[in-house]
Copies of this chain bind each other. A is one copy, B any other.
Amino acid sequence: MADANELQLFNDLARQLRADSIRCTTAAGSGHPTSGMSAADLMAVLQAKYQRYDYNNPEHPNNDHLIFSKGHACPVLYAMYRAAEAITDEDLLSLRKFGSIYEGHPTPIIPHIDAATGSLGQGLAIAVGVAIAGKHIEKLPYKVWCLLGDSEMAEGSNYEALMVASEQGLDNLIAIVDVNKLGQRGETALGHDMATYAARVSAFGWKVLIVDGHNVAEIDEAYAEAVKHTGSPVCILAKTEKGGGVSWLAGAPGWHGKALKPDEAEKALAELAQAGPIAGYTVKPQLPEDLTPAPFTGDAPLVLPSYEVGTKVAVRKAYGDTLAALGKSRGNLFAVDAEVGNSTYTESLGKVAPERLFQVYIAEQVMVGVAQGLDVQNKNTFAATFAAFFCRAYDQIRMGAISGAKLRLVGTHAGVSIGEDGASQMALEDLAMMRSIHGSTVLYPSDAVSCAHLMSLMADYDGIAYLRATREATAVIYPATETFEIGGSKTLREGTTATVIAAGITLIEALQAADTLASEGINIRVIDLYSIKPVDEAAILKAATETEHLIVVEDHWPEGGLGDVVAATLTKNCVAPKKFSHLAIPQMPRSGKPDELLAAYGIDSHAIIKVVKG
């Protein structure tokens, strides 16, 4: 129980947080003061008594984490920094101004931010990843706090995160839902129906505490219970009022995402000041403990799996083999599986290091969120599912790029070559999707050896890397000694009649076509464009100028894949091919045998031969 002095401090700090939320948004002329004001008491008690964080050392391994899933409420977060003297008042008032790191939604440009938020329903999954790192990997006692809005409890992604958090027994994770009843355009579906929120969250295995989110004594008691609770994560459901603390803003409609005009701000600050000073409080969190993370099992030289040229190995199998090899070599190597690990071969890591493979079941959004949360704690993490199902987590990947996260994503079962399962399982847009992620690298190996090499490069890539893997077993074409690089390509056949640019399964078809044509005396160049982004521009330009016919073949829609990459390269360099053909999937594919489908949609060796012969 808090004493009177503590309660006074909580209220004083909360008042200042409210005032600062108003001041900085009014100075900006835009933003979300009222969404922060509803959480001001919750955040004041947290900062004054429960949070353990060293603002002078954001990388301290024992720091608590605080993730604002309701990112638009960041004015109150920046006000907390100000109260901790981590930033100046000038910093606070630079909110939303160009050049300021105090943006409209928080990003990790601020050293105290773990992950960019602002697309709702994403913070909790990342918090789950951080909490997994703390509890299961580092075995440190820090807490992960996640502030959510009530509106975002409509996002399905949060239920994936709730599920995984309890499955993983994350009693170091405390979610705080600021139930201020008002969404962007009016009341939320549930309003202040705290019992229904409680039923939903507790049904997912969480301990639930309901508090009056403007009563600092109740908040204090709930936090005290939450930090002691073991066996499950805790969710504090706080009944609040949007704009709470100022009589004419509290619970009033029409104030979402609106800064107060200067005269309105003056009036609001005057009302707050009636209860006591609204500035001058310095309240720093307690410093964290000084414990050492559990050590990794240590590093050993990487021994890539080896494959005989000419044998048939699925690229997805090579992904699994290489993941296991990386896992053996590095203690700091983890993977997340969305319940398809036996098809993607992610389960291979589980065979060598079961404690480093995390299962999230069929929930791709939280899979990416957990991978990102592990990356926050510098855990080198791969996440894999069928390439098509990464579409489910595209928003998470997009936000991951804003966070500057290192995500290592592997999409298996790409293209029509998966065969009988039909179009729903055939990724035909994944290259387009992943290319348009800022700073991404997109790799598409054609055989097991190149997959193994590219995987080892991915493991050290500083950004979002995506590898596309074929389902079918295909011929190993490279000797183990071959070298590969991000941005590279391989010219595997030479000729001047035409160049075929391909990758993955179509590269194998292109080689067959080239060999058949060679036996007829027609020599073509074949380029393995295994690095789609960045791309080997020189190889493309050379091919366009040195050969008579440029042919791009891909197991992908015509838009956004190899064809667009080649065209963008040529146009950028003002080069036109002498003749150009683009073989891609021309219509919605159907079920059938892989070979039938490659033929039917015109991307197999016969189709290539026909186009070459023209």
A566-594 vs B: 1/0 string, CB under 8 Å? Answer: 11101111111111101000011011110
Asked if A392 and B389 sit within 8 Å, CB to CB, the answer is no
Given A97-B591, A119-B389, verify A422-B107 contact (CB < 8 Å): yes
- Copies of this chain, how many? 2
Asked if A422 and B559 sit within 8 Å, CB to CB, the answer is no
Nearest-CB residue, chain B, relative to A109:
B590
Q: Does A120 contact B (CB under 8 A)?
A: yes
Asked if A571 and B560 sit within 8 Å, CB to CB, the answer is no
Q: Does A98 contact B (CB under 8 A)?
A: yes
- Contact partners of A160 in chain B: CB under 8 A: 154-156
User: In chain A between 90 and 146, which residues have their CB closer than 8 angstroms to a CB of chain B?
Assistant: 96-100, 103-105, 107, 109, 116-121
Asked if A98 and B203 sit within 8 Å, CB to CB, the answer is no
Asked if B151 and A592 sit within 8 Å, CB to CB, the answer is no
The segment out of A9-17, A182-190, A276-284, A473-481 that lies at the interface is: A182-190
- Contact partners of A587 in chain B: CB under 8 A: 438
What CA separation (Å) do A574 and B156 show in the bound complex?
A: 47
Contact partner of A574 (CB less than 8 A), chosen from B107, B117, B188, B578, is B578
Q: Does A246 contact B (CB under 8 A)?
A: no
Asked if A574 and B576 sit within 8 Å, CB to CB, the answer is yes
What CA separation (Å) do A196 and B73 show in the bound complex?
A: 33
The segment out of A294-302, A423-431, A518-526 that lies at the interface is: A423-431
The segment out of A233-241, A334-342, A371-379 that lies at the interface is: A334-342
Q: Does A527 contact B (CB under 8 A)?
A: no
Asked if A571 and B574 sit within 8 Å, CB to CB, the answer is no
Q: Does A311 contact B (CB under 8 A)?
A: no
Asked if B571 and A104 sit within 8 Å, CB to CB, the answer is no
Given A118-B422, A389-B395, A391-B395, verify A342-B571 contact (CB < 8 Å): no
Asked if B103 and A189 sit within 8 Å, CB to CB, the answer is no
Given A104-B421, A156-B157, A437-B429, verify A560-B557 contact (CB < 8 Å): no
Asked if B560 and A436 sit within 8 Å, CB to CB, the answer is yes
Q: Does A264 contact B (CB under 8 A)?
A: no
Q: Does A402 contact B (CB under 8 A)?
A: yes
Q: Does A40 contact B (CB under 8 A)?
A: no
Asked if B189 and A167 sit within 8 Å, CB to CB, the answer is yes
Contact partner of A119 (CB less than 8 A), chosen from B157, B202, B424, B437, is B424
A186-204 vs B: 1/0 string, CB under 8 Å? Answer: 0011000000100110111
User: In chain A between 521 and 555, which residues have their CB closer than 8 angstroms to a CB of chain B?
Assistant: 533
25 A-B pairs (CB sep. < 8 Å): A71-B424, A98-B593, A99-B590, A103-B423, A104-B425, A107-B423, A119-B391, A121-B392, A154-B163, A154-B360, A155-B362, A156-B159, A200-B200, A399-B424, A401-B588, A435-B559, A533-B559, A559-B560, A559-B564, A568-B568, A570-B571, A574-B576, A574-B577, A574-B579, A576-B576
Total interface residues in chain A, CB < 8 Å:
115
A252-282 vs B: 1/0 string, CB under 8 Å? Answer: 0000000000000000000000000000000
Q: Does A433 contact B (CB under 8 A)?
A: yes
- Contact partners of A428 in chain B: CB under 8 A: 436, 438
Asked if A571 and B566 sit within 8 Å, CB to CB, the answer is yes
User: In chain A between 394 and 429, which residues have their CB closer than 8 angstroms to a CB of chain B?
Assistant: 394-395, 398-399, 401-402, 404, 419-425, 428-429
Q: Does A513 contact B (CB under 8 A)?
A: no
Contact partner of A159 (CB less than 8 A), chosen from B151, B159, B593, is B159
Q: Does A349 contact B (CB under 8 A)?
A: no
Q: Does A31 contact B (CB under 8 A)?
A: yes
Given A395-B389, A591-B98, verify A158-B155 contact (CB < 8 Å): no
